Amino acid sequence: MRFPLVSNSFPQLCLTIIPVTVMLVGFTDSANALSISRLGSFETGQSAGSEISAYDPTSQRLFVTNGANNRIDILSITDPSNPTKFGEIDLASLGGGVNSVAVKNGLVAAAVQANTVTDPGTVAFFDVSGTFLNSITVGALPDMLTFTPDRTKLLVANEGEPNQDYSIDPEGSISIIDLSLGVASATTTTADFSAFNSSNLDPNVRIFGPGATIQQDLEPEYIAVSGDGQTAFITLQENNAFAILDIPNATITDVVGLGFKDHNLPGNGLDASDRDTGINIQNWPVFGMYQPDAISSFQVGNQTYYITANEGDARDYDTFSEEVRVNGVTLDPTAFPNSSTLRQNTNLGRLNITNTLGDTDGDGDFDALYAFGARSFSIWDDQGNLVFDSGDDLEQITASLLPSLFNSQGTVTDFDTRSDNKGPEPEGITVGQVGNSLYSFVGLERIGGFMVYDLTDPTNPLFVHYQNDTAIGDISPEGLLFISAEDSPNGQSLLVLTNEVSGNTVIYSVTTPEPASILGLMMVGLIGGLTRKSSTKQK
C-alpha cells in the first residue's frame, strides 16, 4: 500500500502539536498506530559527537561513537528520560577515527580506522566499563561491525576507500573474528573478492574506479546477518550491489547488482531541482541507483528479508570525481528530444548524476541519466531480489507533513536545497517488534527525524508515523538503534537516534497506545488539519 497523497484530503493522517517540540504522527489505520514520545537526550555540543550506538541490557548502558573526539561515550540509561555519562573510551592510541561500535554479552567492539586511512584498521574490545581487553588487525577502513546471533563471531566491513589522488586503493573485504574461545584468544579470517573477475561478476555491479581491480573497487559498507547466523548481506554502496557472505565458510558466494529505479514511472517521482522555488515532485526521465547505506534483516514466517536505506553516494576525489549536473553534459537528441527544457535549472539541470553511466552507444553524449540513491527504502528477499520499494513516499510524506523543511538540511533557511542531490537522504534503518507487530524505522539524514512502517506484509509495508524534532535541535540522524521492551530499562520498547550534525543522542519510547489514546490523537489531527504546500509543474 502506497502512501495516498493524490489530493488535499488526508483522512488517515493527523498532526499533533505539543509545546516546545513538534511531533508528527501519521496513521493508516488504528491497528498500525504507535505512540512515540521523546524521552531524553544526551548533548555533546559537537558536530559528529554522536554517530552510531550500541546497547548492553545488563549494565543498561549505551555506547556511542563520538567522531569529533575519536572516542566512545558510555551513557547510563537506567532512566531513559535522563541519559547520563558514565565514562568514555579514548581510541586515539588505536587509530585515526572510530567508525562503529557493537555490544554482545558485555563485550564491546569498536571499529577504528588507521591514522593513514588506506592502512589496515583495528577492532578493539572492551568490557562495559571501558577496560581494554584485546585488539585485532583488520582490513583498511573498517566501517561497520556486528555480532552474529550466537555471539561467537564478529563481522567487520572493511570498506577500503582509496586515498585522494587514487594512488593507493586498498582491497575491500570482510573480517570474520572468531570469539568462540574468548576475546583473549580471538582469531581472524578474511573473506575477500578474489574469486570474482570480469567474466563471473554480475554486469550490473558498478566497477569504475580509475585503474582499480574488482577487489579494489568493491567497498563493503554495512552488514546484516540472517536470523540463523549462516548468511550475511553486505551493502556495496558505491557499487550499487550486495555481497552475500557464507559465514561458516568465510566465503563471499555472490555479488548481486541491484539495478536501477525508474523515476519516470507513476509513484516514483522526485523533486529534482533546488531552484524551482517550491515542492515539485513529479516523474522525470532519470534512473536512480539504489546505493544503500544501512541494511537490516528481519523474518516473516520462514522467510528472511533485508531492508535498506537507499542513501546514495558519489566518488569524489582530488583526481577523480563522477559527479556532474545534467546541465553540464550533452544529452542525446534522440533519447531526449526536449533536452533544452530538461537542462533548465528549474527542471533537471541542477540534478547531480554520475558521468560513469549513460553513454550507452559510446558516442560521447548521454542516452540515459543515473542519479545517486533512490530516495527510498527497499525490501529484498534472501536472493537479493527486490520485493518492495517505497517509491516517492519519503518526499511525499515530508512535503505534506513538514513542507517548510522539505528536502532541507534541517532548517527552514535550507528549504529545498537538497532536491538536486539525494533529497531527504535516507541513511539509517533498523527493525523492531512492538506488541504483536514488526516495524521498520528509517532515518532521514537531511530533513531529519525518522519514519515508521508496519512490516507485517513485507511486500506491502504500511506507513505509520513520522517523527521530526529538528525544531528543538535534533539534526541529521546517522544511526538508529532499537531496544526491545524485554531489554529496555523501563519495560518499553525504545528507539535511539544518534544525530551527527547536532551531536546529540536521543531516546524515544515506542509503545502501542490504548484505543482511547488513538481516538484522541486522531481527533486532534482532524481539528488541526493538514495543508499540502506543493505545486504541480508540467514538463
pLDDT tens digits, residue range 208-217? Answer: 999 999 999 9
Residue 32: pLDDT band with limits 50, 70, 90: low
Q: Which residues of 300-309 are buried (b: 16+ CB within 10 A; e: fewer)?
A: eeeebbbbbb
What is the spatial distance between Cα 494 and Cα 430, in angstroms, rounded to a whole number?
12
3-class SS of residue 217: helix
Residue 429, Cα to own-chain centre: how many angstroms? 5
The reported pLDDT for the residue numbered 513 is: 78
Look at residues 40, 9, 16, 12 and name the one whose alpha carbon lies nearest to residue 27. 12
Measuring CA to CA, how many Å separate 231 from each of 225, 242, 249, 344?
6, 12, 10, 47
Give the end-to-end CA distance of the chain in Å, rounded to a whole number.
28
Q: What is the pLDDT of residue 18?
A: 27
Report the alpha-carbon distance of residue 179 to residue 188 in Å, rounded: 9
| Cα–Cα distance measured from residue 436 to residue 399, given in angstroms and rounded to the nearest whole number | 31
pLDDT reported for residue 268: 98
- Whole-structure pTM value: 0.91
Q: How much is the pLDDT for 515?
A: 58
Q: Which secondary structure element, helix H or strand E, spans residue 17, and what is its range?
A: strand 13-17
* Longest alpha-carbon distance in the chain: 66
Mean pLDDT, residues 397-402 taken together? 96
What DSSP assignment string belongs to 230-247? Answer: SEEEEEETTTTEEEEEET
Distance CA 105, CA 283 (A): 49
Q: In what order do the strands lie in the sheet with 71-76?
A: 53-56, 61-66, 71-76, 84-90
d(CA 487, CA 351): 44
233 contact partners, CB below 8 Å, separation of at least 6: 223, 224, 226, 242, 243, 244, 245, 295, 297, 306, 380, 384
**Which residues touch 16 (CB under 8 Å, ≥6 apart)?**
23, 24, 25, 521, 524, 525, 528
* Residue 329 burial (C-beta neighbours within 10 Å; 0-12, 13-18, 19+): middle
Q: Contact, 418 vs 274, CB < 8 A?
A: yes
Query: How would residue 247 be classed by pLDDT, with cut points 50, 70 and 90?
Result: very high
Mean local confidence (pLDDT), 479-493 = 98
Share of the chain above pLDDT 70, in %: 89
Q: What is the pLDDT of residues 177-186, one digit of tens each?
A: 999 999 999 9
Task: Determine whether domain 91-252 maps to CATH 2.130.10.10.
Answer: yes
* One-letter amino acid for residue 263 of the chain: H
What is the residue whose three cell numbers read 577523480? 320
